[in-house]
Amino acid sequence: MKIVSVVGARPNFVKMAPVHKALVGSGIEHMIVHTGQHYDYEMSDVFFSDFGLPKPDIYLDVGSGSSCFQIGEIIKRLENTLIWANADLVLVYGDTNSTLAGAICSDKCKIKLGHVEAGLRSYDSAMPEENNRIMTDHLSDYLFAPTRNAVTNLRNEKITGRVFYTGDLSVEIINRIKVISKQSKILDTLDLKSRSYLLLTMHRAENTNLREYFIQLLKAFESLGDNTIVFPIHPRTKKMFKTFGLLDRLLKCSNVKLLLPSGYIDFIALLQNASKVVTDSGGIQKEAYLLKIPCITMRNNTEWVETMKGRWNVLTGVNSKNIVNAIRSPSPTSQYNKSVFGSGRTSKVIYELISSINTTNKKGK
Ligand code: UD1
């Protein structure tokens, strides 16, 4: 059996890593196509080295641009690769532009499609990722759902592909990386002590397109002068601080330690030693939960509803007062249920499902 994974952005690389290991370890031919959506060393290569992944077999070099540009260009450049590869199955991961482009292209090339992390919904159509995941799910033949809630979402949408509950890959990823990250030197390099700082990330398009949200974030930084805030800044966010003329005000916040985006091992070291994390990322909400770090999510909704029980994850939007209140509130102590994300053998489950399904007949579309 031959499988092609189409990946292009940070969260795709993270999810593919354990699946790659499970497939290759069982003798399946696995080809990695990197779209080039993320291309900086800190956004791409460092993930391949942190996870011990081989270099991608094919690099499409699409680069930055609007969603239409990225999706269109990936489809154009991927078509010949998929035809030439003659794979039995294409795998896509999560909800990025690379995910949707991989899904459309495999549909058009009549190759069966599996979606890893299927069925997540925020029910917020202003998020580009929400529309990417809905379209990808509806094009998929095999849907690997990480939570029971995701399975229910898919059933409610009367999806035509086959839905499987697999648990979430984060459990095995975090179990492995939290041990490795003990060797990270990032805390020493930044002169930080465990639990002495907050970790913050913000990059979502719907948050970074509005100047007012940057003002809210700066107000929060300014009122938290007594807290050290570690902020690995996403290229999009940095660019928008400049565009909105707010970079100088950010640089004046002496309590904020600005970093380049971190590799995965360093990031998990920062996360597991933080007192709390403030973020608008999807994956970090779940990783924080698995590491028992209280999370403050700068959104009005979340697809990871499981993390909200017991106030391990609190939604604040990008509102300075709400963010500061949540930071100053006591940390949760109870109502924790790690098993909501499965047993930690999701990559094996996905491998077993893939090897048991009949992917030899191409779709008769
Ligand atoms: C993408 C995903 C998002 C994921 C995030 C993780 C979509 C719609 N969004 O968002 O789901 O959580 O990745 O980071 O696919 N840039 C660089 N260097 C890079 C990559 C990007 O400078 O290596 C800059 C470019 O100016 C680019 C901007 O960042 O235009 C945004 O990148 P893009 O790939 O469009 O989306 P992300 O915000 O990274």
pLDDT tens per residue, range 143-169: 999 999 999 999 999 999 999 999 999
Q: Give residue 79's pLDDT.
A: 98
CA distance linking residue 106 with residue 7, whole number of Å: 13
User: Does the pLDDT value for residue 337 go beyond 50?
Assistant: yes
Computed over every residue of the chain, the mean pLDDT equals 96
What mean pLDDT is predicted for residues 249-256? 98
Q: Is the pLDDT of residue 261 over 70?
A: yes
Q: Calculate mean pLDDT across residues 321-343.
A: 92
> What is the pTM for the complete model shown?
0.96
In terms of C-beta density within 10 A (0-12 exposed, 13-18 middle, 19 or more buried), how is residue 145 classed? buried
Residues of the chain with pLDDT > 70, as a percent, come to 98
Q: How far apart are CA 308 and CA 63, in angstroms?
A: 35
Pocket test for ligand 1, best of 64, 67, 285 (most atoms within 8 A of CB): 64
Q: How confident is the model at residue 338 (pLDDT cuts 50, 70, 90)?
A: confident
Q: Check residue 365 and give its pLDDT.
A: 40
Q: What is the token pair recorded at 299?
A: 């959104």
pLDDT at 364: 47
Instruction: Reply yes or no on whether the pLDDT at 21 is more than 80.
Output: yes
Look at residue 317 and tell me whether its pLDDT is greater than 90. Answer: yes
Mean per-residue pLDDT, 325-347: 92
Q: Is the pLDDT of residue 71 over 50?
A: yes
Q: Which domains does the chain have, with CATH numbers?
A: 2-168+343-356 (3.40.50.2000), 181-341 (3.40.50.2000)
Which pLDDT belongs to residue 359? 59
The residue-averaged pLDDT of 169-184 equals 97
Mean pLDDT of the region 347-359: 91
Return the H-helix or E-strand segment holding 280. none
Residues 111 and 351: their CA atoms lie apart, in Å, by 18
Under the banding of pLDDT at 50, 70 and 90, the label for residue 362 is low
Bridge partners, residue 32, by sequence: 5
Q: Quick one: CA dihedral 42, 283, 188, 253, positive or negative?
A: positive
- List residues near ligand 1 (CB under 6 A): 9-11, 37-40, 43, 64, 67, 95-97, 128-129, 203, 234-236, 239, 281
Beta bridge pairs of residue 4: 31, 90
Strand ranges across the sheet with 2-7:
58-59, 29-34, 2-7, 89-93, 112-116, 142-145, 162-165
Report residue 153: phi and psi, to 5°: -55, -45
pLDDT for 357 equals 84
* pLDDT (average), residues 186-207: 97
The predicted pLDDT at position 5 comes to 99
In angstroms, rounded to a whole number, what is the distance separating the alpha carbons of residues 133 and 237? 23
From ligand 1's centre to the CA of 168, what distance in Å?
23
What local confidence, expressed as pLDDT, does residue 360 receive?
57
- For ligand 1, atom 20, name the residue with the nearest CA: 38
Residue nearest to ligand 1 atom 16, measured at CA: 235
Average pLDDT over residues 273-295: 97
Give the whole-angstrom CA distance, residue 354 versus residue 28.
10
Instruction: Read off the pLDDT band of 321 (50, 70, 90).
Output: very high
The percent of residues in the chain predicted with pLDDT above 90, rounded, is 96
Closest ligand 1 atom to Cα of 205 = 38
Residue nearest to atom 6 of ligand 1 (CA): 10
Q: Which of 304, 354, 364, 356 is nearest to 30 (CA)?
A: 354
Q: For residue 355, how far is its CA from the centre of ligand 1 (angstroms)?
A: 33
Quick check: helix, strand or coil at residue 282? helix
Q: Is 234 a catalytic residue?
A: no
Q: How far is CA 65 from CA 41, 211, 233, in A?
A: 18, 20, 19
Which helix H or strand E contains 25, and what residues bound it?
A: helix 10-25
